[in-house]
Structure 1
Amino acid sequence: MGDTPRLVASDIDGTLIRDDRTLSPRTADVLARLTVRGTPVVLVTGRPVRWLQMVYDQLTEPLPAVCANGAVVYDPVRDEVLRADPLAPQHLAEVARRLRAEVPDISFAVEVLDSREMRHEAHYPLRWDADHDRIRPVETPEELLSVPAVKLLARAGEQDPDTFVELIGAAVAGLAEATHSSYSGLVEISAAGVTKAAGLDWYCDRLGVAAADVLAFGDMPNDVPMLSWAGRGVAVANAHPAVLAVADEVIGANSEDGVAAYLEKIFGVD
């Protein structure tokens, strides 16, 4: 990579925003300054589209996003999905079959309609967005798996996330991708070949930006493909060991405006 990256890509949770899910004024300001200068900034996240507004509300202008771990590329200005790469129903069914055989007490949810809606089995444990009007239970497993899904979510009680994702990944090898972005035991499953790196690569190709000219930030295992792909992959200090292991550099933690401080230094923005 040259001295000045041509595009900045950043994960959201645990990287760009603080642990209370707020974006610091300093971070919002530096992202706005880069955009005004003509440097594209892209959010690359495991979040679904429906979870982006709470971030956009804290930005000067909404930023394009690669969502659902690379399965959805979203233009917030037009509220338009530019690309979606979901698991087809037949693949969903096979993944679910393999995982139920491996983990009998597993429960599932799916992100559908380009991640604007989530459907879940009755016994799937919901978290902080349980009352969202786009989240609803299904009556049968067949209904859950009947439409294309940009992400299949799997839980099975309390699990060590790294051990659980390794188990899930082995079970779906060759059919789907498995990763995680939290410490709650949630495994996120995408179509084969779908990663943050793949989604960002598609978007960068659209802009004519090479991987070597991309500066990327992340903190969790779902960021590893993106940080490995980018010309410069940077981990925040609070990152998972797998991310620290592949990063070209390690910066301040998300709670310390690590990304903002680094961008100010690299781009001479203050």
Structure 2
Amino acid sequence: MAAPLAYALIATDLDGTLLRCDDTVSDRSRRALAAAREGGARHLVVTGRPAPRVRPLLEELDYDGLAVCGQGAQLYDAGTGRMEWSVTLDRQLAEVALGKIEAEVGQVFAAVDQDGVDGLTLIEPGYEMPHPTLPAVRVPRRDVLWEEPISKVLLRHPALADDELAAVARGAVESLATVTMSGPGTVELQPCGVTKATGLALAAERMGIGAARTIAFGDMPNDIPMFAWAAHGVAMANAHQELKAVADELTASNEEDGIAAVLERLLAAR
């Protein structure tokens, strides 16, 4: 009987990591994940996407376990279709935080992800979705964004680069919210203290697996807390420099099956 895989939990981001640019998962990556599962490991999706925006992908992957969604604010059970745990961003604090940011950099354009398994992504006038395949509902005024509970706020600035906007936002909002950058054109405000690491830790606890037996894959600064929690963090070749700087290992890009390359090596080493 083959020895077990070195890691019991494989935590993967989706966009820019497991997913290729066309939102698909390669056959090679599917085979590697299936082989890892046969070797006794569990696969956990840890994504910035809210649960409603990730459900079609999980179905396409035949994924039926827990998934950490919304930058760690949601723990979704793909097998039952239920939200196991969620935390919302206080809407009054979100408005105040947005005002503080605009006092520093001028007008920004905002969107929100509503809470719940059927929550919508609402975008105010002027906001353009950075990921065109994700559905969104345009609303006529900003105040409509706050009408229902939300898990996070997404920000775009007409001139500032993402790194600049994120840096200003962190200084402006302080403890009102957690600021993260999860992809091109995607600076986000989420509940204070909530990160991918908090969601990953909660999911791992429910699975009975500790950080010492977890390997994590990612590509953006929002994956830094996840790398800090896991025993081994692997950054994709296409990853942001901030994540590469703290990674334990670099692999090939998402287009070149970087996750599969690492898992195949680990499987061969058993």
Q: Please say whether Structure 1 and Structure 2 have the same fold, judged by a TM-score greater than 0.5.
A: yes
Provide the identity percentage.
36
Cα distance per residue 1:109-155 (max 9 Å; x no partner): 110033731112122223554883xx323343333123321110111
Q: Which has the higher helix share?
A: 2
Partner of 2:124: 121
Distance in 2 (alpha carbons) for counterparts of 1:61 and 1:212: 24
Alignment of 1:108-187 (within 5 A): 108-114=110-116, 116-129=119-132, 132=135, 135-184=136-185, 186-187=186-187
Distance in 2 (alpha carbons) for counterparts of 1:183 and 1:129: 12
Question: Over aligned residue pairs, what C-alpha RMSD do you find?
Answer: 2.3
Cα distance per residue 1:142-194 (max 9 Å; x no partner): 3312332111011111431111110111111111111112223x311111011
Distance in 1 (alpha carbons) for counterparts of 2:97 and 2:216: 31
Partner of 1:230: 230
Q: TM-score, normalising length from structure 2?
A: 0.90
Structure 1 unaligned regions, length at least 5? none
Secondary structure of 1:124 counterpart: coil
Secondary structure of 1:123 counterpart: coil
Structure 1 counterpart of 2:80, from 74, 78, 93: 78
Distance in 2 (alpha carbons) for counterparts of 1:269 and 1:74: 33
Q: TM-score, normalising length from structure 1?
A: 0.90
Distance 1:28 1:58, change over 3 A: farther
Distance in 2 (alpha carbons) for counterparts of 1:27 and 1:34: 11
Structure 2 counterpart of 1:59, from 61, 77, 102: 61
Structure 2 unaligned regions, length at least 5? none
Secondary structure of 1:189 counterpart: strand
Partner of 2:30: 28
Distance in 2 (alpha carbons) for counterparts of 1:24 and 1:107: 34
Secondary structure of 1:216 counterpart: strand
* Residue identity opposite 1:146 in structure 2: E
Partner of 1:206: 206
**Aligned length in residues:** 266
Distance in 1 (alpha carbons) for counterparts of 2:133 and 2:235: 31
Distance in 2 (alpha carbons) for counterparts of 1:131 and 1:183: 14
> Offset at 1:3?
7.0
Distance 1:61 1:121, change over 3 A: closer
Residues 138 and 144, structure 1, Cα contact 8 Å, conserved in 2? yes
